Structure 1
Amino acid sequence: MTTHSLPTISEQESATQELFRTLLDCMSRPGKIAKLAPSNGVLEIDLTPYVVSVALTLLDQEVTFQIVHDKGSSSSTLQVYTMASLAPLNQCDFVFMHGTDSVDVCGLKRGVLAYPDESATVVCSVNQLSDSKLYQSGTTKLTLSGPGIKDQCQLFLDGIDEQLLSLWQRANQEYPLGIDWIFVDEMGNVCCIPRSTQFAWEVM
């Protein structure tokens, strides 16, 4: 369990606004890697301080969320600080998980044709992400294409399960339906891959 110290309201609002702009920019430019500032709130929570920053930015009283394999009181703590509601995985707006968790992401909300934006966003923790080759055994190389990408770009991930990649690809095969992803690594690097992005992968 990690303790994060709580900033003042004005500091939190400023940090939240800056982080939200960063996420929007990354979502419009899939594959771009940006740097997050860690949260310094007093939250007893089993998430990295960088993922906590994302949670405090995205969650409010109008959305629902779930933390996969929550081992303690992390979910209830986030409820108190964000006023967001817990919901089952197949109904929630935001899913917080690790890339090695066993989750059938095909069962998450993928929107409907009339409202494709009513889909889930997965905030996925990984060990490391980079736009250049990583040398850890089992690193995954994603080759991305689609809106916001000139030709193709590559993203390297350490700490994501190959089965999860297969399920993710299946969940997004009927665009505009699908799931948006936000990847955050242990050093605070962040990258967004919206449901409009096509990808292929290779385990290095």
Structure 2
Amino acid sequence: MHIHNSAASATKLATVAAVLGAFALAPTNAEAGGAGVVLSGGFHQDRAYYYNEEGDQGIDTQLPTNSAYGVELLLGDRDDRVLGIVRGFVARDAALKNPDPKALGEDSGDYVFPDVEAAGPTVRGAGSVGIQWGLWGDPNGFQLIATSLIGSQFWTIDNLETAVFQAGVGVTYTVNERYQFAASVDATSRFRKRFYWGSDVWLSARYMFD
């Protein structure tokens, strides 16, 4: 338990420091890089628990949807194939569904479970830092990219911070020297006591400084 908490706390502190540092330095680096808005949607694994009359625990693994919106900074010259990415965003997870033990193959009997549907969706403040890699094409035109980011959902009201790791592939399209659009499909791993897997689509509209 202490190992899990330490790992999540370390990721949280590193992410918060990196995100705040990048945004603080942004005004002094306004001649390079860019800024934009981001939207995301996808799904992830999560668990709903239930218990029989003897108190034995069962697990219903579900795939609720998730979404996010926020801002991002790009660090580096727009002509570069490798750029730093810093994102700050609001992440929203849809509510879990109450488990149906009999539909999950459990024996007949009475089961109890927390009412996760009544809890509603979860909203957290989040941040991530990473790299955009140019794989093929022209950074000032159409480009195939790969992305890798590490982050944390750290601003919570339930003290359930989550470390997040992302790796994806996508494209960028630079309309002119100032405006760029980006899209990627990411494999996502969340860590809170254990790993949970998922996938997300990220869309960005960017204004390039240099």
TM-score class normalised by the smaller sequence = under 0.3
Highest CA radius of gyration, 1 or 2?
A: 2
TM-score by length of 1: 0.24
TM-score by length of 2: 0.24
More helix by share: 1
